[in-house]
Amino acid sequence: MSDHSPAFHDHNHDTCTHDVLHHAEELVRRDGIRLTPVRRRTLEILVSEHRAMGAYEVLDRLAADGFGNQPPVAYRALEFLVEHGLAHRINRLNAFAACMHPGEAHSPLFLICQACEAVAEAPSDPVRTAVEQAAAQHDFAVERVNIEVLGTCPACAGDAKEC
Amino acid sequence: MSDHSPAFHDHNHDTCTHDVLHHAEELVRRDGIRLTPVRRRTLEILVSEHRAMGAYEVLDRLAADGFGNQPPVAYRALEFLVEHGLAHRINRLNAFAACMHPGEAHSPLFLICQACEAVAEAPSDPVRTAVEQAAAQHDFAVERVNIEVLGTCPACAGDAKEC
DNA sequence: CTACCTATTGTTATATTATATCATACTAGT
DNA sequence: ACTAGTATGATATAATATAACAATAGGTAG
């Protein structure tokens, strides 16, 4: 892990933290989802780190905050967040990250740096369209799309050149 | 698991088996890759089933054929095949499948049926283009793209209607 | 052809990730 | 307060994956 993690560019972290939690609150009002203490704290942890975190890493944090310290505690909270579009699961890394475009209809597209493991989430509407077309050729009804791109982030590409 | 697995449509399985193995042989000649007995057998297993298989499932088959019966045996062979484009890893399922479009430059796009777990591999050149563009906006250098689409295959969609 | 080097395989052990299950506690609606 | 549905806590275990080292096979320079 490195210090390149918070996406690949500087950003106002207070703003994105606020946006995500605000969106969650809205779902509480609008859809009646239950943002219980564990779930809320789990989301806060993901947002505050702003990177892909393993379930056991999240679990450690939760335990430190006085929640249960057994795997299901973390997995259940994470699953809940994913189900409601507040977080994503990044299969390639067996990890989770808060959704940084909450509410927007989008198929998450993850840019995963192989050097520093930073993960950026990009909007992907044109990609989604292309995917739908490919699926249509197989008479396949799309429900969820997960796109994971492996490569090198600008920071690490720069590091490599310096050597 | 169900009987919908071999992609979503009937196909001439002899042909696709032949194509894949033929391509592998070509790599042996062209690139000097070493298609050892375990590796060859692993590819044959994946092709003959024509579906996503877990590493331990592959391992059982290999062991039955007299190869080692410890996890690394399967993982190493599978990793080799993935590296050389002869197989793909489907993260969502922690599973592997023979590449059915060997040799074609393509970013694999998997259509995964949530009902029967069948997996189809679709070519995805337009998708790839869209992905490259999204990545470019982040100055991200793409190396590998993995697209996994969850949904319902035509067979299962039909089944659902019948009820 | 032999000695060496490298890639591959076999084996043991263990790490990491994830889920099933059941008991307990909370929440909302009546 | 009662009850039906949810959510949490805790125990146990399953499923997936890798590290590390020994043994073997294959190619190649001398």
Long-range contacts formed by B55-58: CB under 8 A, 24+ apart: B55/B94, B55/B95, B55/B96, B58/B96
Per-residue pLDDT band at B13 (split at 50, 70, 90): confident
Is the pLDDT assigned to residue B143 strictly greater than 70?
Answer: yes
Per-residue pLDDT band at A162 (split at 50, 70, 90): low
Asked whether A45 and A61 are in contact (CB, 8 A), the reply is: yes
Domain ranges in chain A are 13-162
Mean pLDDT score, A9-30: 84
Q: What is the DSSP letter of B101?
A: S
CATH number of B13-162: 1.10.10.10
Of A16, B152, B38, the C-alpha closest to B46 is B38
Q: Do B131 and A109 touch (CB under 8 A)?
A: yes
Is the pLDDT assigned to residue A86 strictly greater than 60?
Answer: yes
Residue A151 approaches strand D within 7 Å at CB:
no
Residue B93 phi/psi, 5-degree rounding, is -110, 5
Say whether B148 sits in a helix, a strand or coil.
strand
Dmax (CA) for chain B in angstroms is 54
Q: Do A111 and B140 touch (CB under 8 A)?
A: yes
Task: Give the residues across from B149 on adjacent strands.
Answer: A145, B111
For residue A132, which residues of chain B lie inside 8 Å, CB to CB?
A: none
For residue B111, which residues of chain A lie inside 8 Å, CB to CB?
A: 135, 138, 140
Q: What's the pLDDT score for residue A17? A: 84
Asked whether A9 and A111 are in contact (CB, 8 A), the reply is: no
Neighbours of B60 (CB within 10 A): 15
The whole-angstrom distance between B65's CA and the closest CA on chain A is 31
B92 contacts: CB under 8 Å, gap ≥ 6:
A91, A146, B110, B112, B148, B150
